[in-house]
Amino acid sequence: MNKNPQDNLIVSLDVGTTKICVIAAQRHEQDKIEILAMSSVVSRGVRRGEVVNILLASQDIAQAVQKVEAKLGFKISSVYVGLASAHIISRTTRVNISRDNPDELITKDDLYRLSLETERIALNPGEEILQKQHQEYFVDDQEPIKNMPIGMTGSQLSANYHLIIGNKKSTANIEKALQMAGLTCENYNLEPLASARAVLTQDQMDQGVCLVDIGGGTTDIAIFYKGLLRHTAIIPKAGASITESISDQFKISPKYAEHLKTRKDIVNLLYASVKDITLTIKQENGLPSIDIGTQTLSKFIHKCYFAIFSEVKKEIHNSFFKDKLGAGIIVTGGGAMVEGMKLFLNIHTGYESQIGNPIRYIHNLKDQSLNSSIYSTSIGLALCALSDIEEKEFIANRNNPKPIVNNAVETHLEKQDSPSVDSDTTSKEETRGIFSFVKRSLQEVLIDKTNYDDFEK
């Protein structure tokens, strides 16, 4: 590990609905990071994962970054940013190119030219490609190739690409907020994949698993099977929505509603097991006190989570992998920290469940408060950044590397040691690349942009 903390510095920025979290980390051997500093501030300009007030968001981002800078002792200029809002969709597409001399070996230049073909994909007005990653390759329409086809021959080269598409205005709002905070964006990463990077194991992804990240503004879903990403979705209903519903239902302030929601001694999703006592909530501004029974409160919160996981169950069914989740459901995020969550999920979904914490890939963790599902996305973004940096270094070390055309549209070419590597063998470099667990063949990924009704009361 480098002694100078500025060497190989990684800074992740989680722009959430309820909090802005910044983590500064440094790479460590064995695909781990060491966290050097962290800060979290209240988020005021974000709604359901989307920046709606640029000024407030920029001020909050600057405040969080400044706190980390004070701990590090030097300035931060660029960050890796997470994306998760209702405007983001994913889709797969196939592109192909013809090769003038089919007897010549396929090279990295051919793959680069193939990746540029994704820029021709028709998008709806106001949309842009935020990120793209290849899935499987095809040479002359033969069997799909999981690894890079460098060293093979053929006249036609094709590939399936997983595209992450966002609304230009929403992305521009994030970029403007970063600019006003004196920062540039190194790369965007989809937040459910970042959380998966921090929480899931390879065995879980091989067996089949559904990751559910319940954040403040959105509930993010990523389904894996046989080590590959199969389905993603972002549901615009999460922790902040539950707080609002509690506030409306019991006529108390959002501050008190949030406090009650997180009290493990009085709230349990298995509401029948809660000892029914009366809580007296003292109101501000001279308003009369309000009495709330703990069973009544727990039952209402149960209904809110029931609504969220009913949507999760729909997504699992839509993915066509409902019978392939051998590792069940892994729940993470701040919304996972409710008493009775595991048994509630077992009963409601029929799947075994676990709470996922993000310290698996952290070296020398000094701040034990980070051993919490609330930081899964922030830590996952730093881990994705590590993989991104390593992949860029690998490409830079090759002869005549091609430049990245647009920083907002990262084209990550998979790594291979030599043209002689067998197509069924996963190289060490491949496993260390960004989203290495989703870079092989993928089936269609779709985010449902259904308008969700308010929580049932």
Residue 393 is predicted with a pLDDT of 67
pLDDT over threshold 50, residue 199: yes
Pick 381 or 93 by higher pLDDT.
381
Residue 318 is predicted with a pLDDT of 86
In sequence order, what DSSP letters do the residues of 382-418 get, joined into one string? HHHHHHHHHHHHHHHTSSSPPPPSBTTBEE-PPP-S-
- What residue type is assigned to position 375 of the chain? Y
Q: Among 7-16, 108-117, 356-365, 409-418, which stretch is predicted with the lowest mean pLDDT? A: 409-418
pLDDT over threshold 90, residue 134: no
A 10 A CB-CB count for 202 gives 12
Q: What is the DSSP letter of 87?
A: T
Left if phi > 0, otherwise alpha if psi is -120 to 50, otherwise beta: which for 280? beta
SS3 content of the chain, % helix, strand, coil (to 5): 35, 25, 40
Residue 359 is predicted with a pLDDT of 87
Residue range 115-137: mean pLDDT, rounded: 86
Residue 416 is predicted with a pLDDT of 38
Residue 430 is predicted with a pLDDT of 37
Q: pLDDT category, 394, cuts 50, 70, 90?
A: low
The owner of tokens 């493990």 is: 264
User: Where in 57-193 does DSSP place strands (E)?
Assistant: 78-83, 89-98, 127-139, 156-167, 184-190
Q: What is the DSSP letter of 85?
A: S
Residue 131 is predicted with a pLDDT of 75
Residue 383 is predicted with a pLDDT of 93
Task: Rank 282-296, 388-402, 440-454 by mean pLDDT and report only the highest.
Answer: 282-296
Q: Give pLDDT tens digits for 39-66.
A: 999 999 998 888 999 999 999 999 999 9
First to last CA, the chain: 54
Q: pLDDT category, 397, cuts 50, 70, 90?
A: low
* 110/126 Cα distance (integer angstroms): 30
Do β-strands 290-293 and 278-281 pair in parallel, antiparallel, or remain unpaired? antiparallel
CB 42 within 8 A of CB 18: yes
pLDDT over threshold 90, residue 105: yes
pLDDT over threshold 50, residue 284: yes
Residue range 259-264: mean pLDDT, rounded: 88
Residue 455 is predicted with a pLDDT of 46
Residue range 144-157: mean pLDDT, rounded: 88
Length of the chain, in residues: 457
Percentage of the chain beyond pLDDT 70 is 83
| H helix or E strand, kind and range, residue 204 | helix 202-207
Q: Which residues pair with 177 in a beta bridge?
A: none
Residue range 381-388: mean pLDDT, rounded: 89
User: In whole numbers, what is the pLDDT of the chain averaged over residues?
Assistant: 83
pLDDT over threshold 50, residue 402: no
* 194/378 Cα distance (integer angstroms): 8
Do β-strands 50-51 and 46-47 pair in parallel, antiparallel, or remain unpaired? antiparallel
Q: pLDDT category, 373, cuts 50, 70, 90?
A: very high
Q: Among 175-184, 247-256, 439-448, which stretch is predicted with the lowest mean pLDDT? A: 439-448
pLDDT over threshold 90, residue 300: yes
Pick 106 or 448 by higher pLDDT.
106
pLDDT over threshold 60, residue 118: yes
* 229/219 Cα distance (integer angstroms): 17
User: Residue 44, SS3?
Assistant: coil
Neighbouring residues of 221: CB distance < 8 A, sequence distance ≥ 6: 192, 210, 211, 212, 213, 231, 232, 233, 234, 235, 312, 315
- Rg (the chain; Cα; Å): 23
* 419/145 Cα distance (integer angstroms): 14
pLDDT over threshold 80, residue 7: no
Residue 42 is predicted with a pLDDT of 95
Residue range 157-166: mean pLDDT, rounded: 85
* 357/376 Cα distance (integer angstroms): 7
CB 354 within 8 A of CB 198: no
CB 68 within 8 A of CB 147: no
Q: pLDDT category, 5, cuts 50, 70, 90?
A: low
Do β-strands 156-167 and 127-139 pair in parallel, antiparallel, or remain unpaired? antiparallel
Domains and CATH numbers, the chain: 89-166+407-438 (3.30.1490.110)
* 169/178 Cα distance (integer angstroms): 14
Residue range 63-88: mean pLDDT, rounded: 91
